[in-house]
Amino acid sequence: MPFRLEIERSSKETGSNIVLALDPPLDKPNRMLSRSNEILKAVTPYICAVKINRQLVLPVGLFNGVQKIVGLIHDSGLSAIMDCKINDIGYTNRAIAEFYYRAGFDAVIANPFVGWEEGLQPVFEVAKKMSRGVILLVYMSHKGAEEGYGQKVRNSETGKPMSQYVVFARKALSWQADGAVVGATFPEKIREVHAILRDRVPIYSPGVGAQGGQIESALMAGVRYLIVGRTITLAEDPAETARLIRDSARHYLEA
């Protein structure tokens, strides 16, 4: 099943639009692996997918450790997203995507700054070949995002200035991406991107909780999936915290 349909299925089955950012604190690799497994098993009923970053892949290893976590994610009926922010030349980008897809990841996050030709085109090609997904990074959740994603660039067609993230949102449409990332800390940016994407490309939003993003404002602005990490992974009771976040998001969506 294509990635976008798969995550929609798991979201309906769990009644959740929460993507767990499984980013445990830096520790010995075996402890990071065991802690990740503990958190995952506890929160599985309350999430629809899991996002893993390089801070777990680097110490634990892709095929030695992380692949086992991906197996647990799939055994729970959830999707696995690799937040590698692919951002190199096409030859390297293709290899990066293939390695993560072979390890079992259902989708990768890529950075549109590198462009299409000899940039992200090979990633989309291998994703289509392997029936996987590509999510584009449109606007990040940290304060310094304005320096890059928020800068003004010249529209090549009209010659008028345009925000970089607007250009990226339009690329998400034209490249037929499976999702677009926009930080929950910037609901006004979410609203602007959603006006471009509508329901054709779902918005994934990190930054809820630890970075100050609010569930209600993000959802009301047009977010489809909330990416939540430290608020859950560092909680005294990750399962209960995940349940409360899921129920809160469900309440706003139903309202």
Taking alpha carbons only, the member of 175, 171, 155 closest to residue 163 is: 155
CB 66 within 8 A of CB 103: yes
> In the 8-state DSSP scheme, what is residue 226?
E
Query: Which among 28, 85, 143, 152 is annotated as catalytic?
Result: 85
Burial category of 255 from C-beta neighbours within 10 Å (exposed 0-12, middle 13-18, buried 19 and up)? exposed
Tokens encoding 218? 């993000």
187: left (phi over 0), alpha (psi -120 to 50) or beta: alpha
The crossing angle, in degrees rounded to 10, of helices 187-197 and 164-174 is 30
Is 28 a known active-site residue?
Answer: no
Q: Tokens 């402890």 — which residue?
A: 31
Tell me the CB-side half-sphere exposure of residue 46, using CA atoms within 13 A.
22
The answer to whether the CB of 158 falls within 8 A of the CB of 182 is no
Cβ pair 100, 126 in contact under 8 A: no
Positions annotated as catalytic residues are 85
